[in-house]
Amino acid sequence: MELFATARDLGRLAEIAAVLVRHGFGDIVQRIGIARVLERAGKALHWKRGAEFHHVSTPERVRRTLQDLGPAFVKLGQLLATRVDLFAPEWIAEFEKLQDQAPPSPWEQVRDQLVEDLASDPKSVFLEFDENPIAAGSVAQVHRARLADGTAVAVKLRRPGIRATVEADLSLLARLAQLAEARLPDLARFRPREVVRQLTQTLRQELDFAAECRNAERVARSFAEDPRIMVPKVHWTWTGERMNVQDFVEGVPSRDPAAAGRAGLDRRVLAHVGAQAMLKMVLEDGFFHADPHPGNIFYLPGNRMAFIDFGMVGRLSERRRDELVQLLNGLVMREPQGVTEVLLEWAGAAAVDVQALEADIDAFIDRYHGRPLAELRMGAMLGDLTRLLREHKLALPPDLALVLKAAVTVEATGRELDPDFHMVSEAEPFLRAATLARHGPARLAQRGWRATRTALELLGELPRELREILRSAKNGRLQVHVDITTLERFGHQIDGAANRLTVGVVTAALIIGSSIVMTVQGGPTLLGLPSFGLLGFLGAAVGGMWLLVSIWRSGRAG
| Residue from 450, 406, 196 nearest 287 by CA | 406
The span from the CA of 128 to the CA of 526, in Å, is: 102
Strands 525-526 and 297-300: what pairing? unpaired
| Residue from 297, 153, 310 nearest 236 by CA | 153
The span from the CA of 542 to the CA of 538, in Å, is: 6
- Phi first, then psi: what are they for 287, rounded to 5°? -145, 115
**Residue 60 vs residues 16, 52, 77, 94, 97: alpha-carbon distances, Å:** 17, 12, 12, 6, 10
Catalytic residue among 291, 322, 353, 418: 291
The span from the CA of 10 to the CA of 38, in Å, is: 7
3-state secondary structure of 33: coil
**Residue 67 vs residues 99, 180, 198, 393: alpha-carbon distances, Å:** 8, 20, 19, 28
- Phi first, then psi: what are they for 431, rounded to 5°? -65, -40
Whether 291 is catalytic is yes
The span from the CA of 292 to the CA of 490, in Å, is: 57
The span from the CA of 331 to the CA of 368, in Å, is: 9
| Residue from 307, 231, 301, 295 nearest 266 by CA | 301
**Residue 514 vs residues 149, 177, 390, 507, 517: alpha-carbon distances, Å:** 106, 58, 67, 10, 5
Helix axes 71-80, 162-183, angle to 10 degrees: 50
Note the Cα 172 to chain centre separation in Å: 16
Radius of gyration of the chain (CA): 33
Contact between residue 313 and residue 289 where contact means Cβ atoms under 8 Å apart = yes
Q: 489-492: long-range contacts (C-beta < 8 A, 24 or more apart)? A: none
The span from the CA of 63 to the CA of 48, in Å, is: 20
Residue 543 burial (10 A CB sphere; 0-12, 13-18, 19+) = buried
In terms of DSSP H, where are the helices of 208-287? 209-222, 257-262, 267-279
DSSP structure string for 92-126:
HHHHTT---B-PPPPHHHHHHHHHHHHTS-HHHHE
Contact between residue 353 and residue 378 where contact means Cβ atoms under 8 Å apart = no
The span from the CA of 11 to the CA of 20, in Å, is: 14
Active site residues: 291
